[in-house]
Structure 1
Amino acid sequence: MLAVNYTNLRDNMKSYMDQITDDYETMIVTRKNNKNVVMMSEEAYNNLMENVYVMGNKANYDWVMESKAQLEGKKFSSHELSEVEENE
């Protein structure tokens, strides 16, 4: 996670925005009176919101945790995917 003050951000906005989007960084912009702001890419934000939604529902959370336990316990099987015709 990066941290930068407002003045530095303003003077180097494009560079910081490129770093945030290209390197999947999150940045804290420090401001007076501790009114800080967090900057992240839209992709990172959407991923965060999806995780909040999935993990915010007890049934979804339990399903994910059960799946994780099965994976860690090697209780899974793999198989080849079948091709689907274009007209299906």
Structure 2
Amino acid sequence: MKQVNNDADAVIVTAKEPEDNVVVMSQRDYDAMQETLRIMSNKYLMAKINEGDRQFKAGKGIIHDLIEVDDD
């Protein structure tokens, strides 16, 4: 399990019947995959991302310094 987390590689655990195979992956990778699926299935959000991408490619992007937020 540590190697799965350290290497970010999924492990396929095979069974006699291929439909019974399972995949073991890190929680971090699973969460990232689920978030990606949620974003990609949200038509409104994808439209906003695509519009921003078009604007950036057209040279309309603006670079800003990051604002540090103090959590205290």
Q: Same fold (TM over 0.5)?
A: yes
Is structure 2 residue 21 aligned with structure 1 residue 36?
yes
Greater relative contact order (Cα < 8 A, sep 6+)? 1
Q: For 2:30 and 2:6, locate their aligned partners in 1 and report how far apart those are by CA, in whole Å.
A: 14
Match for residue 46 of structure 1? 31
Aligned residues: 71
Tell me which amino acid in the other structure corresponds to 2:43.
Answer: K
Gaps of 5+ in 1: 1-16
Q: Please name the residue that 1:21 is paired with.
A: 5
The amino acid across from 2:15 in the alignment is R
Counterpart of 1:59 in structure 2 is 44
The structure with more strand, counted as a fraction of residues = 1
The 1-side partners of 2:32 and 2:70 are apart by: 31
Residue segments in structure 2 that go unaligned for 5+ positions in a row:
none
The alignment yields a C-alpha RMSD, in angstroms, of 2.2
SS for the counterpart of 2:17 is: helix
